[in-house]
Amino acid sequence: MTSSKVAALPAAPQRDARRIWWNGKARVAGRQTAQELCLELDLAPYRQAQIYQAVCKELVTDPAAITVLPVALRQRLRETLALVSLSPAREVTSADGQTTKFLFSLADGTPVEGVLMRHRGGRTTACISSQAGCALRCDFCATGQGGFVRNISALDIFEQVLLVAARARREGKSLTNLVFMGMGEPFLNYDAVMDAVALLNDPQGFNLGARRMTISTAGVVPGIERFTAEHVQVNLAISLHAADDELRSRLMPINRKWPLALLLAAARNYVAATRRKVFYEYLLLDEVNDSPDDARRLADLLGGPLHHVNLIPYNATDAPYRRSSPLRTRRFADILRERGIPVTIRHTMGDDIAAACGQLRAEGVSRRVRRAAG
Which stretch in 16-24, 78-86, 88-96, 135-143 sits in contact with ligand SF4 by CB under 6 A? Answer: 135-143
Q: Is 284 in the site for ligand SF4 (CB under 6 A)?
A: no
Establish whether 113 is a catalytic residue.
yes
* Catalytic option among 38, 138, 141, 357: 357
Q: Is 341 in the site for ligand SF4 (CB under 6 A)?
A: no
* Burial class of residue 35, CB neighbours in 10 A (0-12, 13-18, 19+): middle
Query: Do 19 and 85 touch, CB atoms closer than 8 A?
Result: yes
Q: Whole-number minimum distance, CB 323 to ligand SF4, in Å?
A: 16
Q: Is 220 in the site for ligand SF4 (CB under 6 A)?
A: no
3-state secondary structure of 20: coil
Query: Do 112 and 156 touch, CB atoms closer than 8 A?
Result: yes
* Catalytic option among 38, 56, 91, 113: 113
Cβ proximity to ligand SF4: between 183 and 243 the closer is: 183
Which stretch in 85-93, 102-110, 136-144, 336-344 sits in contact with ligand SF4 by CB under 6 A? Answer: 136-144
Q: Whole-number minimum distance, CB 179 to ligand SF4, in Å?
A: 12
AA letter at 94: S
Q: Is 157 in the site for ligand SF4 (CB under 6 A)?
A: no
Q: Is 250 in the site for ligand SF4 (CB under 6 A)?
A: no
| Ramachandran class of 256: left when φ > 0, alpha when ψ lies in -120 to 50, beta otherwise | alpha
39 Cβ neighbours under 8 A, 6+ residues apart: none
* Burial class of residue 123, CB neighbours in 10 A (0-12, 13-18, 19+): middle
Candidate residues 123, 137, 169, 277; the one interacting with ligand SF4 per rule CB under 6 A: 137
Establish whether 287 is a catalytic residue.
no
Q: Is 168 in the site for ligand SF4 (CB under 6 A)?
A: no
Residues 154, 160, 161, 166, Cα dihedral to 10°: 140
Q: Is 184 in the site for ligand SF4 (CB under 6 A)?
A: yes
Query: Do 24 and 35 touch, CB atoms closer than 8 A?
Result: yes
Q: Is 349 in the site for ligand SF4 (CB under 6 A)?
A: no
Residues near ligand SF4 (CB under 6 A) are 134, 136-138, 141, 143-144, 183-185, 218, 357
Catalytic center residues: 113, 357
